[in-house]
Structure 1
Amino acid sequence: MEHIKKLHPVSATIIIGTLFARMAMFMTIPFLAIYLTSVKGVSASLAGAIIGISSIVGLFGGFFGGYFSDRYGQEKVMKISLLMWTFVFIGFATAESVWTFFLLNALNGLCRSFFEPSSRALLSQVTKQENKLLVFNLRYAAINVGAAIGPLVGLKIGASSSTTAFFITSFVYFLYFILLVVMFSKYTIEQTHGDISEHVTLRRAVGVLGKDRVFLFAVIGMILGVIGYSQFNSTIPQYLSQYKDGVQLFSYLIVFNAITVLVVQYPVSRIGKHYSALTSIMLGIGAVALGLFGFGLFTAVPMLFVSMFVLTVGEVMMFSMTDIFIDQIAPKHMKGLYFGSMGFTAIGNAIGPWIGGLMLEHLGYGNHFLIFSLLALCTSIGFPVFLYVGGLMKATKRHIEYSL
């Protein structure tokens, strides 16, 4: 409770809203690939493409979402995104055409790519420097509490074969919208951009990012890491669905993943504070690659859970420090732009499911060792890329130091 008292009321609202919004999201999206293949009868590669389209939109949506956040304010962008999200999930519930699902998941990605950088920039803005690690970790924990509960609810209401969960998710996002409207009317957030001349033009934004080699190569490294992690939402469930009770096993793996995140997040963050965020991200990429290799190597259920544990530890090390990394290297008046431009890592989420689906389709579900070994190899290349980022940071004297 002492930690909660340190939070700005708007920060607390965003963290609580994140908990319930992600809970609703995890009732639906993780089951979408299975729903499309089993109910709509689409191929594995097409299902992967539909899953990936939201990330393709996020490539540019994150940049523009972050830009608009800095230019016009986080409040407006967040409210518009949530309202649009409400109608997107109503669309999911009523869609019949496969191509409609393409459009809806593209809009889903657009809403996420606008809302996420705005909310993170706002958290950074209203939070004192000494509390930022706490706030970003609470946000990450909220995401994973939602991920722990959401799939169980989704499994219970048959999210892989019905549309009920989409209506529920739509309702949750609408409530989140109402809550933010109330909070923003009660607490006025002052702009921190300073003089109007400091407002970022689109041309200047592109120029700044284009010259920031630390940021550019960090994005490349994260893309490779995300390619590996994205298999959890597409290739792994499709692979497991071929086996008896595979859908149920995948649901338990999602819950295990979320619970593991909650259990290991605090000790990992405590250990991680003695090292740089960069080191944590690098080790995380290595662990994600090792976890993927385990899915190819083992078929026994206990060992699949071991592989998921390794992959999850990698997830925590990789993603929990990314916001800290970006918050440190971003100029104060361009936080939204930098957070949003990390959306370019969605290249990994876009091509990862598609690559995995193609491998399943052409190499065969039984050839899982080769499939997951290749995916692990691709992911692991991110490690030396971040080694190079570390060299650039030393050369430019950009260093990250955070403490709990």
Structure 2
Amino acid sequence: MSITKVFKKFPRTFWVANTIELFERWAWYGFFMLFANYLTGSTDIGALGLSQAQKGIIMGVGTGILYFLPVITGAIADKYGYKRVLGISFVVYSTAFIALPLFNTFAGVFTMYLYLALGAALFKPIISATVAKTTDEETSSIGFGIFYMMVNIGAFIGPLVTLAYKDSGYTTVFYISAGVILINFILILFYKEPERAIKQESLGEAIGNVFRNIGTALSDFKFVIFLLLVAAFWSMYYQLFFTLPVFITQWVDTSSVYNFFEGFMPAVTETYGKGGQMDSEFIVNFDAMFIIIFQIIISSIVMKLKPLKAMMGGILVCTIGMALTLYTQNVLFVITAIFIFSIGEMASSPKITEYIGRIAPKDKVGLYMGCSFLPVFAGSTLGGVISGNVYGSMSDKVNLLVKEVEKRGLDIPAISKDFSATEYFNRAGELMGMNQNELTQFLWNTYNPDNIWYVILAIGLFAVIALYFYDKLLLNKKS
């Protein structure tokens, strides 16, 4: 069947659902890419000045819960209708974005982020289910390809839009995301409820059945081991959002990229640069751009490989890429590493679900597929620990400077609401006889914050090696 004929087979609801997905991802990544620096940045620039450990808990646990909740919210959508639950999710989403900047304490922000995660969890299972229900065997491959393209376009556009207004204050960032979600209130008017089986069971019974099915799948020890190993991949993936923006802001010299755009496209530096440096989120956003450009090419290569080989190869490439992003202060090296990471991401992520289908008993494929969210939940939580406590102790520029100040016995007030991190750095530089660039280089050479790349590398290599032996020894089969 030609592409034109396939496109004609898609009903209007398919296109409406995908457009809704694009704007939802736009709103989500518009704030999420900036969230780590918002949580930990200096208070004098409108950030909250929280610790890396607090950031790790908020982003790691909160995002993990977001991916766990769809087992419940999916049952709610099946019970009460997709369109109604979509409307509720948009209400939660928009009010959460508006309320988030009103809180500046760890407890308050964490609570509001969980509320935002609820909105995302209500939304998440509906659009993918709609795509599944509005495609058939002939159109599903292209249909889900369009769906994932919309996800990545939204993920790419979102940060570019919000970054353009970051100088107006982080509150503006959240309000932009709320405004983008409001567009979906209009689009939902054109959304037609797809056919679904109406079950007589109560919501409590439906949720109970979901957890019983999960329990049945998790009684398979081999399957649990696989999910834990895949969680290692997701723990690395989330460093793209949890750690890398902070690392670039604190340590990486982005002036070469700034100078390039200043010479050829000065509007870019005017929008996404300041003081001769590019916004770290602009650099990290290269990942989404690479996926948009190369996803079809990588998918066409990977589809010829067996799931395990593609998954192991992808995770290995992801490991190398993410580790190398935290290895240097050279921004061109970082961008190259992000490209390497994106190749691994494109190769491994789709194959994980496919491999679950391969290893599941024939009569339990649906049960096992329903657990595909669990490694994302575990990986996000573990990723929060790496980005929080581990990064905070090994690589956080603020903590390392405080350590050096205490070692030298310098008299500088502690960082607080009345004495920002920026003021602390300026005072330390004056007392140590260094400008800020010299101070950064001194801390880099003295404390080696790049050593965190060993942590990422170790986790990824363990996952790859363990997956190989898992397949050969536990499953005793070639996949």
Cα shift at 1:141: 1.6
Contact 2:214 2:367 in 1 (8 A): no
Q: Which one of 288, 291, 294 corresponds to residue 324 of structure 2?
A: 294
Is 2:454 aligned against 1:373? Answer: yes
Q: Which one of 292, 310, 334 corresponds to residue 304 of structure 1?
A: 334
1:380 corresponds to which letter in structure 2? L
Q: Residue 272 of structure 1 aligns with which residue?
A: 302
| Normalised TM-score (structure 2) | 0.72
| Residues 257 and 369 (structure 1), Cα distance of their counterparts in 2 relative to 1, 3 Å cut | same
Q: Distance in 2 between matches of 1:40 and 1:220?
A: 33
Q: Deviations over 1:361-398 (max 9, x none)?
A: 2123443442122122213333345447756997899x
1:322-337 paired onto structure 2 within 5 Å = 322=352
Q: Residue 216 of structure 2 aligns with which residue?
A: 211
Q: Distance in 1 between matches of 2:168 and 2:57?
A: 18
Q: Residue 402 of structure 1 aligns with which residue?
A: none
Q: Deviations over 1:151-206 (max 9, x none)?
A: 2222210179421121121122122133124322xxx421147x758997334322
Q: Residue 49 of structure 1 aligns with which residue?
A: 57
- Total equivalences in the alignment: 394
Q: Residue 383 of structure 2 aligns with which residue?
A: 352
1:342 corresponds to which letter in structure 2? F
Out of 152-161 and 348-357, give the one that drifted further: 152-161
Contact 2:326 2:450 in 1 (8 A): yes
Q: Residue 87 of structure 2 aligns with which residue?
A: 79
Cα shift at 1:113: 2.4
Q: Which one of 115, 121, 139 corresponds to residue 107 of structure 1?
A: 115
Q: Deviations over 1:101-134 (max 9, x none)?
A: 1111112222222321232122212211232222
Q: Which one of 14, 19, 25 corresponds to residue 17 of structure 2?
A: 14
2:392 corresponds to which letter in structure 1? E
Q: Residue 364 of structure 1 aligns with which residue?
A: 395
Cα shift at 1:359: 2.0
| Residues 360 and 197 (structure 1), Cα distance of their counterparts in 2 relative to 1, 3 Å cut | closer
Contact 2:316 2:344 in 1 (8 A): yes
Contact 1:65 1:118 in 2 (8 A): no
| Residues 22 and 197 (structure 1), Cα distance of their counterparts in 2 relative to 1, 3 Å cut | closer
Q: Residue 139 of structure 1 aligns with which residue?
A: 147
Cα shift at 1:335: 6.7
Identity %: 22
Q: Distance in 1 between matches of 2:228 and 2:325?
A: 25
1:127-166 paired onto structure 2 within 5 Å = 127-158=135-166, 161-166=169-174
Is 2:32 aligned against 1:29? Answer: yes
- Structure 1 gap ranges (5+): 400-404
Q: Deviations over 1:3-61 (max 9, x none)?
A: 54343322212222222222222221111121122221211221222222322422541
| Residues 130 and 278 (structure 1), Cα distance of their counterparts in 2 relative to 1, 3 Å cut | farther
Contact 2:90 2:182 in 1 (8 A): yes
2:381 corresponds to which letter in structure 1? A
Is 2:221 aligned against 1:190? Answer: no
Q: Distance in 1 between matches of 2:229 and 2:168?
A: 33
Q: Which structure would you say has the larger RCO, counting Cα contacts within 8 Å and 6 or more residues apart? A: 1
Q: Distance in 2 between matches of 1:332 and 1:141?
A: 32
What is the alpha-carbon root mean square deviation over aligned residues? Answer: 3.5
Q: Residue 265 of structure 2 aligns with which residue?
A: none
Q: Distance in 2 between matches of 1:41 and 1:180?
A: 38
Is 2:148 aligned against 1:118? Answer: no
